[in-house]
Amino acid sequence: MVNLLDFDVEGLTAWFAERGEKPFRAHQLSRWMHRFGVDDFGQMTDVAKTLRARLAAEAEIRGPQPLRDSIAADGTRKWLLDVGNGNAVETVFIPEANRGTLCISSQVGCALECSFCSTGKQGFNRNLSTAEIIGQLWHANRVLGAVKQPGVDDSGERVISNVVLMGMGEPLANLDNVSAALRLMLDDHAYGLSRRRVTVSTAGLVPAIDRLRDSVPVALAVSLHAPNNALRDELVPINRKYPLAELMAACRRYLEKAPRDFITFEYVLLAGINDSDADAHALLQLTRTVPCKFNLIPFNPFPGSDYRRPSAERVRRFQEILMNADVVATVRKTRGDGIDAACGQLAGQVQDRTRRSAKSAGAPLSGTRTIIPIAQEVHA
Ligand code: SAH
């Protein structure tokens, strides 16, 4: 049975056209599904009864099933969502004073093997479908009480104002499904988010950066993590394929169509590895031709990792060197303490097809991690 969450509005329009239905049906359905969070055709009161019956026979609106729902003391909330065959992915909601950010996953595991990332250690199983990607936003909206009511003015503040594709996986390695989900996030018949408030984060898949620019240019974050190729080859192995000069050129091309006039460079700070004054200066040199901001992420440890987080003083000094060169550099706050919801800590449950977890010493064969006690837990 076809899951209507798998279509963007254009795809849904085509699906209706094949059934002799007008394009406005796709708009109606999108609003019911995405804005109002409805999964029951029976509730769609402005859709003709005969069509509702036909839809119920042919299609479904199937969101993800939560296996676990955890809330940290700071309000950060994490869902473990079932995606079948023993696999599960994680989605994180991060409330702040003036915005709410949803961090969503794009793959079950990840194939890129960045040395400091917990998802990378889990191995890779498969790409998420469009329904599984947009389903994370659909689910969070419903659970957070953020769905709109038909006929009610919805100009008020949004519970989820920002979406970042910074969860499990490499979004640009799943570009088709990610693009369809991005289009739904931006579409006024669906979530209507601003392009500037939707961010794709990539480890640097150069050809896919160009494709994203030409199809759905949203805000772009690039995981840099090293100021030279020798170190980046080690930390972010995809660098061997797309080295820094090519990556910087792709960033410049992206800015021609980007909704923001800068690229965000993410830089995980690893004590004694990439956090020296010389590294900060080299980073300024490397990026001097790309309008950018830095987001420094002090390393978040996870079971089995050897790296260490630098001292607060070292982090401050690194930031200061960038700021003294008039480059904006923020330090990412660690959120979701106690529920393993910070950057690089998302592991989900990955049945590893690459059998990478079997190679890394000490990790369980299945790739399933032990769940650390959490601050507060709500079972769905
Ligand atoms: N694959 C994409 C999306 C992941 S986003 C990418 O690489 O950008 C998650 C961000 O957290 C990335 O910048 C990633 O490099 C960073 N990260 C991964 N492991 C981390 C860790 N242990 N501590 C801090 N940041 C980490």
Give 153's pLDDT tier (boundaries 50, 70, 90).
Answer: low
221 - beta bridge partners? 201, 264
pLDDT surpassing 90 at residue 151: no
Q: Around Cβ 86, how many Cβ atoms within 10 Å?
A: 13
Whole-angstrom Cα distance, residue 191 to residue 189?
A: 7
Q: Which structural domain range is residue 278 located in?
A: 65-378
Give 373's pLDDT tier (boundaries 50, 70, 90).
Answer: very low
Indicate which residue of 18, 132, 343, 377 is catalytic. 343
Are 211 and 256 in contact by the 8 Å Cβ rule? The answer is: no
Ligand 1 close to Cβ of residue 202 (< 6 A): yes
pLDDT of residue 353: 86
- Count of the separate structural domains present in the chain: 2
Judgement on whether residues 284 and 239 belong to the same structural domain of the protein? yes
Question: What pTM was estimated for this model as a whole?
Answer: 0.92
Q: Tell me the two tokens of residue 38.
A: 């409805």
Give 379's pLDDT tier (boundaries 50, 70, 90).
Answer: very low
- Domain stops at, among 28, 43, 60: 60
Look at ligand 1, atom 13, and give the residue with the nearest C-alpha.
223
- Domain stops at, among 40, 60, 80: 60
343 belongs to the catalytic site: yes
Mean of pLDDT over the chain: 91
Whole-angstrom Cα distance, residue 218 to residue 179?
A: 10
pLDDT surpassing 50 at residue 369: no
Closest to 51 (Cα-Cα) out of 35, 68, 29, 66: 29
Q: Which of 107, 222, 266 to mutate to test the pocket of ligand 1 (most atoms within 8 A of CB)?
A: 266
Q: Around Cβ 324, how many Cβ atoms within 10 Å?
A: 11
pLDDT surpassing 50 at residue 184: yes
Indicate which residue of 21, 90, 170, 266 is catalytic. 90
Q: Which of 166, 238, 335 to mutate to test the pocket of ligand 1 (most atoms within 8 A of CB)?
A: 166
pLDDT digits over 199-231, tens only?
Answer: 999 999 999 999 999 999 999 999 999 999 999
- Give the distance (Å) from ligand 1 centre to CA of residue 46: 44
Q: What single letter denotes the amino acid at residue 326?
A: D
223 - beta bridge partners? 266
- Give the distance (Å) from ligand 1 centre to CA of residue 117: 6
pLDDT surpassing 60 at residue 377: no
Closest to 302 (Cα-Cα) out of 273, 276, 265, 339: 339
Give 159's pLDDT tier (boundaries 50, 70, 90).
Answer: very high
pLDDT of residue 359: 60
Whole-angstrom Cα distance, residue 185 to residue 178?
A: 10
> Which of 18-22, 45-49, 172-176, 335-339 shows the lowest mean pLDDT across its residues?
335-339
- Which phi and psi angles does 307 have, rounded to 5°? -70, 160
Judgement on whether residues 53 and 94 belong to the same structural domain of the protein? no
Sequence-distant (6+) residues with CB within 8 A of 361 are none
pLDDT surpassing 80 at residue 337: no
117 belongs to the catalytic site: no
What is the arithmetic mean of pLDDT over 320-328?
98
Ligand 1 close to Cβ of residue 124 (< 6 A): no
Host H or E run for residue 84? strand 77-84
298 - beta bridge partners? 269
Judgement on whether residues 215 and 284 belong to the same structural domain of the protein? yes
pLDDT of residue 375: 34
pLDDT surpassing 50 at residue 167: yes
Judgement on whether residues 130 and 227 belong to the same structural domain of the protein? yes
Ligand 1 close to Cβ of residue 117 (< 6 A): yes
Q: What three-state secondary structure class fits 112?
A: coil
Q: Tell me the two tokens of residue 206.
A: 């150069």
Ligand 1 close to Cβ of residue 166 (< 6 A): yes
> Please, what's the b/e burial string for 30-51 (b: 16 or more CB within 10 A of its CB; e: otherwise)?
bbbbbbbbbbebeebeebeeeb
pLDDT of residue 364: 37
Judgement on whether residues 90 and 14 belong to the same structural domain of the protein? no
DSSP 169: S
Give 372's pLDDT tier (boundaries 50, 70, 90).
Answer: very low
Judgement on whether residues 142 and 19 belong to the same structural domain of the protein? no
CATH code for the domain of 28: 1.10.150.530
Are 50 and 56 in contact by the 8 Å Cβ rule? The answer is: no
Judgement on whether residues 137 and 50 belong to the same structural domain of the protein? no
pLDDT of residue 358: 62
Ligand 1 close to Cβ of residue 209 (< 6 A): no
CATH code for the domain of 88: 3.20.20.70
CB under 8 A, 24+ apart: contacts of 49-53: 51/21, 51/25
Host H or E run for residue 131? helix 130-143
> Which of 121-125, 136-140, 216-220 shows the lowest mean pLDDT across its residues?
121-125
Whole-angstrom Cα distance, residue 313 to residue 333?
A: 15
For ligand 1, what atom is nearest to the CA of residue 300?
23
Judgement on whether residues 119 and 183 belong to the same structural domain of the protein? yes
Judgement on whether residues 318 and 171 belong to the same structural domain of the protein? yes
Judgement on whether residues 40 and 162 belong to the same structural domain of the protein? no
Q: Are strands 263-269 and 292-298 parallel, antiparallel or unpaired?
A: parallel
Ligand 1 close to Cβ of residue 170 (< 6 A): yes
What is the arithmetic mean of pLDDT over 4-32?
97
367 HSE (CA, 13 A, CB side): 29
Judgement on whether residues 179 and 319 belong to the same structural domain of the protein? yes
